[in-house]
Structure 1
Amino acid sequence: CGLKWQCCLVYIDDVIIYSSTFEQHIQDLKQVFKALKSANLTLKTSKCHFCRRETKYLGHIITSDGVKPDPDLVKSVIDFQQPKTIRDVQSFLGLTGYYRRFRQNYAKVAEPLIKQLRFIITGNHHLQWSEDCTKSFNTLKEKLTTAPIMNTPNFEEPFILEVDACEYGLGAVLTQEYDDRKYVIAYASRTLSAIERKYGATEREALAVVWATKHFRVYIEGSKILIRSDCKALQWLRNAKDVTGRLARWAMKLSAYQIENIQYRPGKQNANADSLSRNPVSNTMDQCPQLLAIETAVNLWENTNILDEIKTEQQADVKLKNTIDQLRNNHMPIFNDKRNSYLLINDILYKVKNSNRHYNQREIGNKHLLVIPKSMQQKLLSWAHDHPSAGHGGQQKTLFRLSTRVFWDSIRKDVYDYVASCQACQQFKYNNIPLAHPLQIHTVNEPWHTIGIDIMGPFPKTARQKRFLLVIVDYFTRWIEVFSLRTTTSIDIAQILINEVFTRYGMPNFILSDNGPQFVSLLFDQFCKTLGIQQKFTANYHPQTNLTERVNRTLKPMLAIFAHEHPHSWDKEVQKLALSIRTSINETTGETPAF
């Protein structure tokens, strides 16, 4: 209905509606009620609160001044009895950790309790309570009662990101300064992996910047940013040139943000971020399952009853039924190894996967993966590979599509065998073994800075008289747009660029194309000059310098597979095929274009 992020936010079955004035709030309420009615959804009056200046939402109190902890949950922390088992410690840290962004030195205070969890790694499952633990336990309860209000961000003002790194951790504080005041938005910290601890001081500081921008991306993306650090050598990172390897990848990640300056600030003046890095929140501390958002969603498949079917088949699987019964009867070990941990949510079995947060920064913390019984594995493989939205992807793309959502023991082998035996892939796909050294492509530093365009066809004429495809690729993100055409005149191309591309993503600086008559015509040349776009052309008889040629090689066999069965309606499938490419990992960038 288009209301999300405009006047309301939704988390599962919790809806919050916000407005700038009372009159506008009444109008927003009417729109939300209308949307609920059209979806046949009802509200329970006793759980509704209308026209409030502050309200409870997801364990927080939302006010016009900012966000603070919910007193009811704070009371549950205050009333928490002194832990007697390791599980009690985990529960307490999970509950207080939910509000750790409100406390600058949370990890420092919680260290004696976190240390109890570290003993488990050495095989000691017994609680070794001490005076330090008692002091930590009482201090955490006391500090939570005086937690400060985290201010809501003002997106009209620039953000200040204060970062620091030490030998074992990273810390960051997101703030804003205006009206002669400093406003704290949030705190963050984490420990370093064993490999990251081998980095030099400058590399650790650079990692802190990359990690912090990623962590606070929802706030700072699209806004001006000032970065403060106590490392002078870090100032070169934003404009670094001729770098390779890890630093080159970091520089590319930072180029997506509007960083105005990287400012040197001595350590004594950077105490807030410095203390966080030296007392980071431990990676070994798990949040309570009730507080974790369930990321697993088989959302690309058309069967909306997939969860019910999986639930039924899990009960019928002898091996999985045993695990489910143990979880229901609480017979599982108190602290399972993370590689073997399972979880029941709504009577459906999930695998708790501890992702390597330092290998892929998009997958932070635990993920809940649907456990697929033996009887449904072939069905899942078919959906993840053969469905139009999957586009008969290769082994790695199909594995990524499944392994980020579901789990079974032999998933990697099964995916490789299934893709290798796909008759359609064998018939239509190219051999991608490179025959020569890779070409040097045009350098870009931001999304939609440079686009490549090309025309595919002619194809068999569809019922809607479509014979050609216009393929447009963003060089930075590898995002693609595909449009079916009846004719390929310069006017056709210009109209699609204006109405479907430029109005969505903005004007590019460069357009790269081959020497087709549509692109070298006087009309298209004048069109580009009027909009301030510089044209670039591929070398004669060597169109491979255009990135769209590589996309065409991927798109053409995908289209051929579906056109083989429906030759007169292939144009209706092209957007599904485009979705497949957008949601598949690009081997060059290591990310999906949709990310």
Structure 2
Amino acid sequence: MRQGLRGCRCHTWWLAPDVAAVRIVVDRAAAIARCGVSVEAHVNRILEQEYSDVFPKEVPPGLPPVRGIEHQIDLIPGASLPNRAPYRTNPEETKEIQRQVHELLDKGAINNITIRYRHPIPRLDDILDELSGSIVFSKVDLRSGYHQIRMKLGDEWKTAFKTKFGLYEWLVMPFGLTNAPSTFMRLMNEVLRPFIGKFVVVYFDDILIYSKSMGEHFNHLRAVFNALRDARLFGNLEKCTFCTDRVSFLDYVVTPQGIEVDQAKVEAIQSWPTPKTVSQVRSFLGLAGFYRRFVQDFSTIAAPLNALTKKVVPFTWGTSQENAFHMLKDKLTHAPLLQLPNFNKTFELECDASGIGLGGVLLQEGKPVAYFSEKLSGPVLNYSTYDKELYALVRTLETWQHYLWPKKFVIHSDHESLKHIRSQGKLNRRHAKWVEFIESFPYVIKHKKGKENIIANALSRRYTLLTQLDYKIFGLETIKDQYAHDADFNDVLLHCKDGRTWNKFVINDGFVFRANKLCIPASSVRLLLLQEAHGGGLMGHFGAKKTHDILASHFFWPQMRRDVGRAILKKNIKMWEECLPHIEFAYNRSLHSTTKMCPFQIVYGLLPRAPIDLMPLPSSEKLNFDAKQRAELMLKLHETTKENIERMNAKYKFAGDKGRRELNFEPGDLVWLHLRKERFPDLRKSKLMPRADGPFKVLAKINENAYKIDLPADFGVSPTFNVADLKPYLGEEDELESRTTQMQEGEDDEDINTIDTSTSPHIQHDGPITRARARQLNYQDECPRGRVDAHHKFAATIGDGVSVAKAQRLWTVVVGP
């Protein structure tokens, strides 16, 4: 039975290393299960009996065969040949030279005069994408792969080097030569060309074989081994891995579920000391940047560290750099599993932008495939919030366009306006360019449902906010040792020994409390709490009173109200778009002056919890209400709220009625009309334009609050107005006949005769007629009595709220030249 295993064909589903746990799906392969032979033993038998010549312990002596791909060195025409003196060595180095001569090869000289050629090297992310859907992997590593390639005949002398033992030249391709990687990749692509892209990926001397079943995998292994045998390429069995569901490849760990970070690299990151120089920062960023696809918002987190690598920036390791350093280490230590893309499933894209960076995540069935992040710089930092969100979408599409072009995908956005990209009528040049690129993709935009309830979404992040708060105040553990040296609470320690209570103070577990409120000594913790209560978390930058109420419900220290007033005297926020959700939450949580309750409390019967409420502080016991008691409580709460609203409405009405008088007009009365901006937008385009017009005749009284007036048709609005928009006209009725409208229907436009000021020094055309100028004109002794009366009427008109410009026009009509 064991002799029949060599020719059998195993088609299995890989479950475990032991074949006893493997389900065999063909008849002859049942012999393996009955004999208890492991897959590892089966693979070893194949290697020993069929392909022992492909995996020798040492590379066979002699030169590699001429395969048609040899390393060629083309010298730059006219370049002088290098001729350097031999190295000076001591006896110990001489022994090492005798053992390994190639270490003395100086390849820099020949590389400087060699023409450089380029051969395409496969992208790492493209290699990993090919592994999607595979469940079993094998890795083959060549033994001294470069030395298995011949130097081209006639180019050996170009690799010559001197030693004290003589002049040597390479017959096989050594490491370090220009174009050596390109030559090696050309050979590997030529040897394995029939299999690349089907079940083989090659990256220099690393060959990864992947399959969707175990039986298929054995066939793939034999095909690769035969190709290596035909090309006389030899593998290093010690570095090979066969028939496994977890393989380390190019510093990644590949599994059927996806790719992970190599734990060896994670340990190196965890033990990385705090950088002391710019070069050490670059080294850390180089290692961390290799795994940036596993870290969401990598560029934003690493921004403080990247700032240190600039030439013009002095090296200053501060708090922001320390936080970024530890956050990157933590993110990489707990890096998620990235799913390999499945092109039969729908891709989902999420992107977002902040003040300093943007990021995105590619998902399938809610599982991340890759992360993308980019630090903003230059003019992009000055973009509006909408432009940054749109730019983030464009950059993520550019990064993953090879995934997204063939098939329709979904874009999840928390920015509502991005849903209406296609319906925008007018676009500026930048938006038009972006929208044209976006429209080349078959996408569907969906608004994130989790963002529809902003308060619930904010509360869902309470763990993160609480963690940040705990980090800011160091868990409050540091204040225990500060009480004894604090001027505010050192006397409390003397009076409250042995658990005694003094002046509402008590000590519990080293902390000082006053009426169940934690006492905070004079230290930086006070400032941190002030910042958190005023502008951190979900507080909303309210005034001193509300900020004090929030703090006073949890903490105590003398003169807290004074400290709160000083802390909130700062510049106004300039990023309102990002703060609006927090402001909405803070408003719904703050005490309303009319209802004497929070809006959230009125609707739900309880106060929402802010990050500062989630800290484990002592509090009084609260009863658990059953459903009936809860309903009674809500009913009483609503009744109290209604009474408060009615009482405040009566107070507002009393204050508003103080300066209000009742107006009644009769048909035929003349009134001024207030030009409201909403109703007369063309007449109120500028703040310098008139705010009133008239006088107009009242035609009819509609009701106590509305009147119909004789409004010219050129105004284009209904002639019915509220009494609040009307004011009585104090002039004579015959003045109405002299009123001119803005446009006379059926008449030709002509210039209005101007006032001749040569004989009347009282009327001046330089600038508008102000109240002071009208008052001066009233007391001119030379002015006729009729004109003085008109001046009085003009001043009274202005005093009634009519604009100066309209009164000036009326003055020209009434007084006349």
Please state which band the TM-score falls in when normalised by the shorter chain: 0.3 to 0.5
TM-score of the aligned structures, taking structure 2 as reference length: 0.30
TM-score normalised to structure 1 length: 0.40
Greater relative CO, 1 or 2 (CA 8 Å, sep 6+): 1
Larger strand proportion of the pair: 1
